[in-house]
Structure 1
Amino acid sequence: MLKSKRITPLVLAGLVMSAVGPAVAQPTPPPPRAKGPSLASAVEAAQIAINTCLANGYKTTALVADADGEPVAMLSADGAQLRTHNIARGKVATVIRYKVASGVIMDRVAKEPALAAETKADPKINGFAWRGGIPIMSGGELIGAIAVSGAPGGDKDEACIQPALSKIKPRTN
């Protein structure tokens, strides 16, 4: 007499789990950060901006971000005000959103009520467009932004950024 081999539900579940288990247990890795300056370039640029401001007597924060506005490096001079961190983030967000220097948007906001309302409503911009954020370009493409906050005026923040951009520009092209 032939006995029929029967697969019990418990054995079947074990077979299914052994076949599916490894695929389920390995989630897709998160994507890397967006295109932007390398970590080394970002740290160097932030340090140059901070040192330039310190040489002028300003305790500032410098933020270098990728093309999505995510921080790559943020440095804050000893004694810089805490609020400079948030202001630098807002300057970077302005650059990333509008793809121009934050000062350009600051000037336009004064003349364009709709743009003023738009920037005020954007939580990343923190309610106001400030001068002191500059795009980082490569081959005509926006690959990030650098912002400085803490000098007595956005024009002075921008002046601290220029030597930093000059130094890293050859590596972003």
Structure 2
Amino acid sequence: MQSLTELATHASIALQNTEQRTQLLRTRDQMAGEASRSVRMIGDCPAIQALRITVERVAKTDLAVLILGENGTGKEVVAQSIHYQSRRWNEPFVAVNCAALTETLLESELFGHEKGAFTDARETRIGKFELASGGTLFLDEIGDLSLAGQAKLLRVL
């Protein structure tokens, strides 16, 4: 009798976990949908219209994309537009401002580290590449990295 009670308890917990997982997935999809609707490229000039067409076309592919432009021109908005129009829309979009990364933080920030890997590594930390797995990693201002940092990044890409 006790075994049946324990089995019923475990089955009940498993059912609750399944329901919670389903709800979490629904919430995640809803939030991703809301995020995609909030990304807007503003303007109706021919250049913006051409950009929208290019974004649509690129979003249908599974290719790495290089977005060039001056500071403040909306490179991240374009990257988000591509991401949210692609089949990866419900996966993470992770943006990294490379200009803010010092040489000492670069590897830890992008690639993560294990607890005890160096003096201040008090806990395991997941890198941005792993966080963006299955989604999009937007690396902004790569040109502001040191040459050594760019070389490390190039080896990964």
Fold conserved between structures, TM > 0.5: no
- Of structures 1 and 2, the larger Rg is shown by 1
Comparing both structures, which one devotes a greater share of its residues to helix? 2
Where on the TM-score scale, by shorter chain, does this alignment land: which range?
A: 0.3 to 0.5
Which TM-score applies when normalising by structure 1? Answer: 0.33
- The answer to which structure, 1 or 2, has the higher relative contact order (CA under 8 A, 6+ apart) is 1
Which TM-score applies when normalising by structure 2? Answer: 0.35
